[in-house]
Amino acid sequence: MSQKHKDLFGQVLVALVTPMTSEGEVDWDATEKHLDYVISNGADGVVITGTTGETSTLTDAEKIQLVRVGKSVAAGRAKIITGGGANETAHALQLYKASEEAGADGVMIVT
């Protein structure tokens, strides 16, 4: 891999889980702590709302809020990549655009 590509997102990317409360809601405090932990321990980037992040169980608003929280916690220390997509191409594109507007540094597209 060329140095240019290594520098794009770094070398250590972590696919995050999305912590949930016992009521099935996103646990925002635990999410912030988890993000800070992986970034503080060397992650160059994190994948938020990928398949590991329970994306199929989240609302669109929760997905976008996770990107915002990720950007806030990362505070320039790591790249934020969003993933997950949707069953409909147009919907997936809307989510990726909204994620970009929320601050995502990149998207992971799974087909």
**For residue range 74-109, what is the model confidence (pLDDT) as tens digits?**
999 999 999 867 888 899 899 999 999 999 999 988
Q: pLDDT per residue over 15-31, tens digit each?
A: 999 999 999 999 999 99
* Threshold 0.85, pTM exceeds: yes
Percent of the chain with pLDDT over 90: 67
For residue 51, what pLDDT is reported? 78
Contact 13, 45 (CB under 8 A): yes
Contact 75, 40 (CB under 8 A): no
Domain positions in the chain are: 8-107
Q: Is the pLDDT of residue 4 over 70?
A: no
Return the residue matching tokens 């590509």: 5
User: Which residues on neighbouring strands pair with residue 80, listed in sequence order?
Assistant: 46
> How many C-beta atoms lie closer than 10 Å to residue 108's C-beta?
18
Specify the CATH class of 8-107 in words. alpha beta
- By the 10 Å C-beta count (0-12 exposed, 13-18 middle, 19+ buried), 18 is classed as buried
